[in-house]
Structures are given as C-alpha cells and as structure tokens.
C-alpha cells in the first residue's frame, strides 16, 4: 500500500491540474470501491472548484468551493492518472477508457484526472470541509511525522510504558500518521534500533535519534518520488526511485551498508509483515 511519500508525491503531481481549477464534468462508473461511493457524487463534483489539495496521513483531501471535501485513498493498487495536459516536456493525450477507470474528472483547462483501481481497495468519500478531521477515517490519526507536533517529547510520551515492539508502535496510525512497513524499517536501521525492542524500553537518546531520522527518510523518499515496488506510479505515470536507496528493505542476506558493520540484512516476520534489519548494528 502506498505510504506517506507516495501519497504526497501523487498530491504534488495533481496540484497543477486540480488546485484552483473547476471540475467541469465528473463521471462515476460504479457504485462502490472498498466502501460505497456517495450517492449523486458525480453531480456534486461537477461544477465545483478545487480550492485546496492537501494530504492527511495516506489520504488526499480536495477542499471544494461547495463547502465539501473529496477524500481519496489509493489503497493497494489505486492510481491517479493525468491526461490531456503538458507534464514537463510531455503531453499525455486522453487514453481510451480502461476497465478499472472508476472515477473520471474532466478539469476546466482540458486536463483529465482518472482514478484507476484494479483491485478496488481504494476509497472515495465526500464530507463537509468544516469538521473534516472528524471523518471516521481521519479522526483517530496521530500527528504528521513532518509536522511540528511530532517531536521527541511527544514520541517519548506515546512510547512510555508500552510493551509492543517499536516497529509496531511506529506503524500505529494513532501514534504517528502515514508511516508504513518500508519507511519504518528504513528509519529504525538508520537510528540503530532493533525493531523487536519494546517501545517502553527505548531511552531518551534513542527517541531523540529516531525522530529526525524518520523525517530524513520521508523527505528523501518524497524527493525521489516515492518507492515503486508493484502498482505504484506517480500521477504522470513515472516510477518512484527511492527503492534504489533502500538500506535494508527487501535486501535480505545482503551486506549491511552501515560503515564498519560486518552484518548481513535479515528478514523476520512481525504481526504478519516482513521486517528487514541488521542484527549487528541495530540494538
């Protein structure tokens, strides 16, 4: 599933064609994705201007001139595809309709934004912009890891006394927003922390080291356009490139990249998910 850097990359790709633009025609081709789509969604979107395009955790939020906000979740295989507009040096003509084009938004300048989702694990919803943070998918999410509320004091307080592994704690969206399997594994390696350590056992210095490392990993991934492992593409169809910078993720049995470390990356399973770490330099 796309994590924070992938979703942020998609949002930034959509900004030039959506923010400040009117949706002149919306087409909804099925009644549901992971959840039922709002009734009359096409009618409600048609004629609305996108006043602001923002992100909360792994969700893209389009605040509309109608006082409503369109929530978009990419799920496992969802893609937001742009056509009919110059993107860099390339012009993407409108392609022929595809089987899994579930929602199509024609913008006022001729651009088209298509939500394509083969497995239909994605989601869309409409809600009042005022109080949008109270939506059932958003209300329990923790602070953004790139924001000021995610800091050493906050994280130390949330980890204190917890008996869950630190990796599981960082994956908990109620503790911190948007982190997933890839970037937690990468951050813990850079911080030199064993993913199996109990959260409550981390000392002050380790928490202080972890917070800036999380920011660093996410910022580098956003700059690289995210990580493309299976279905993920940027809004212009390009792959992300951060997978070429992985230090541990999906590198089982390869040498640890930490200078002077003689360890090799190991793969373990935590809560049904693969965790990659170095048993030598992560303690």
**Which of 25, 209, 215, 273 is labelled catalytic?**
273
Count Cα neighbours of 32 within 13 Å in the Cβ-side half-sphere: 4
pTM surpassing 0.85? yes
Burial of 250 (0-12, 13-18, 19+ CB in 10 A): middle
Alpha helix segments (H runs only) across 29-176: 41-45, 152-159, 166-171
Mark 48-86 as b/e (b = at least 16 C-beta within 10 Å). bbbbebebbbbbbbbbbebebbbbbbbbbbbbbbbbbbe
Q: Is 273 a catalytic residue?
A: yes
The domain limits of the chain are 4-134, 152-277
Task: Look up the CATH architecture of domain 152-277.
Answer: Orthogonal Bundle (1.10)
Catalytic residue status for 2: yes
How many angstroms separate the CA atoms of 129 and 68, rounded? Answer: 5
Q: Is 145 a catalytic residue?
A: no
At the top level of CATH, the class of 4-134 is: alpha beta
E strand spans, 36-89: 50-56, 59-64, 68-73, 78-83, 85-87
Name the token pair of 177.
């927003």
Asked if the domains 4-134 and 152-277 are classified in one and the same CATH topology, the answer is: no
pLDDT, one tens digit per residue, over 34-93 is 999 999 999 999 999 999 999 999 999 999 999 999 999 999 889 999 888 655 545 556
Contact of 50 with 63, CB cutoff 8 Å? yes
Pick the catalytic residue from 56, 58, 85, 247. Answer: 58
How confident is the prediction along the chain (283 residues), in pLDDT tens digits per residue?
788 998 998 999 899 999 999 999 999 999 999 999 999 999 999 999 999 999 999 999 999 999 999 999 999 889 999 888 655 545 556 777 788 999 999 999 899 999 999 999 999 999 999 999 999 999 999 999 999 999 999 999 999 999 999 999 999 999 999 999 999 999 999 999 999 999 999 999 999 999 999 999 999 988 887 664 444 444 555 544 456 678 999 999 999 999 999 999 999 999 899 999 999 999 9
HSE-CB at 128 with a 13 A cutoff on CA atoms is 3
Q: What gap in Å lies between CA 33 and CA 122, rounded to an integer? A: 6
Beta bridge partners, 259, equal: none
Based on the residue annotation, tell me whether 174 is a catalytic residue of this protein.
no
Residue with tokens 């979703």: 7
């Amino acid at each position: 599933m796309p994590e924070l850097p992938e979703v942020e990359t998609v949002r930034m790709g959509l900004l030039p064609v959506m923010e400040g633009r009117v949706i002149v025609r919306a087409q909804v081709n099925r009644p549901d994705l992971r959840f039922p789509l709002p009734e009359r969604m096409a009618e409600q979107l048609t004629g609305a201007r996108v006043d602001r395009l923002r992100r909360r955790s792994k969700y893209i939020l389009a605040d509309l001139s109608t006082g409503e906000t369109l929530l978009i979740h990419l799920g496992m295989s969802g893609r937001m595809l742009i056509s009919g507009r110059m993107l860099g040096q390339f012009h993407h003509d409108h392609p022929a309709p595809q089987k899994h084009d579930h929602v199509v938004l024609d913008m006022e300048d001729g651009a088209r934004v298509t939500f394509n989702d083969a497995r239909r694990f994605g989601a869309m919803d409409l809600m009042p912009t005022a109080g949008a943070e109270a939506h059932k998918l958003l209300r329990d999410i923790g602070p953004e890891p790139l924001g000021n509320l995610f800091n050493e004091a906050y994280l130390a307080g949330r980890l204190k006394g917890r008996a869950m592994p630190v990796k599981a704690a960082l994956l908990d969206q109620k503790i911190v927003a948007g982190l997933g399997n890839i970037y937690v594994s990468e951050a813990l390696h850079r911080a030199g922390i064993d993913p199996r350590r109990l959260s409550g056992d981390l000392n002050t210095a380790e928490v202080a080291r972890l917070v800036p490392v999380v920011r660093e990993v996410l910022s580098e991934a956003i700059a690289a356009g995210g990580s493309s492992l299976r279905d993920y593409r940027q809004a212009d169809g390009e792959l992300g490139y951060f997978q070429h910078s992985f230090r541990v993720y999906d590198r089982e049995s390869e040498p640890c990249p930490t200078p002077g470390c003689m360890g090799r990356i190991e793969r373990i399973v935590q809560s049904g998910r693969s965790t990659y770490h170095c048993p030598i330099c992560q303690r």
